[in-house]
Amino acid sequence: MPFEFVETKIKDVILVKPKVFGDDRGFFMETYKKSDFKNSGIDNEFLQDNHSKSSKGVLRGLHFQKYPKEQGKLVRCINGKIYDVAVDIRAGSPTFGHWVAYELSDENKLMLWIPQGFAHAFLTLSENAEILYKVSGSEYSPECDSGIIWNDSHLDIKWPLEEYGIDKPNLSEKDSKLKTFKEIFD
């Protein structure tokens, strides 16, 4: 199998380790194979592919789409390094309000599967980073677009700002005005 699927501390969020075949010419790897993903429990139809490029210190998120247009995402970093975060926003989940985070990079080639019912964000740790992600569940829907402020005190996400020499994250105007977790879910 060209992938290793690693469970995280939050059920259904899966770290995907592709098998990389490398030599002096470069490398080859599969980034998605429907049958392998289905056999691992990731049985989704991908509807949209997104590609973003961000400079160091850019923080995008914490984004999600509200019912009935929730999205799942398979995230990978093809250039540079990011700190990728998934927050469980599934009502009734035993890990509701909990988060997991992983460094994804062009070097480690890890991917993160974030199912529907999660908020997602990433912080760019390298000078630049390019991220590709496959989207399932629903295409982008502006009327269902929502998010949680990045520095929410209830979530207490441990962003590695200081470790990477980032004074404060560079946010879009929209992301700087997002609500807190409790404002949305209480």
Q: Is 38 annotated as a binding residue?
A: no
Residue 71 DSSP code: -
Only one residue has tokens 């929730």, namely: 70
**DSSP one-letter code for 138:** S
**Distance in angstroms (rounded) separating the CA atoms of residues 69 and 126:** 32
Question: Is 30 annotated for ligand binding?
Answer: yes
Instruction: Please list, residue by residue across 68-106, b when 16 or more beta carbons sit within 10 angstroms of its beta carbon and e when fewer do.
Output: ebbbbbbbbbeebbbbbbbbbbbeeeebebebbbbebbe
Q: Is 145 annotated as a binding residue?
A: yes
Catalytic-role residue among 51, 67, 102, 133: 133
> Is 133 among the catalytic positions?
yes
25 is in an annotated binding site: yes
60 is in an annotated binding site: yes
How far apart CA 149 and CA 180 sit, in angstroms, is 6
65 annotated as ligand-binding: no
Q: Residue 120, annotated ligand binder?
A: yes
Cβ-contact 119, 87 below 8 angstroms: yes
Residue 73 among known ligand-binding residues: yes
51 is catalytic: no
48 assigned ligand-binding residue: yes
56 is in an annotated binding site: no
**DSSP H helical ranges for the chain:** 34-39, 173-176, 181-185
Annotated active-site residue in 32, 51, 63, 154: 63
104, 110 Cβ separation under 8 angstroms? yes
Binding-site residues: 25, 30, 48-50, 60, 73, 120, 145, 168
> Could you give the residue numbers annotated as active site?
63, 133
Annotated binding site for substrate: which residue ranges? 25, 30, 48-50, 60, 73, 120, 145, 168
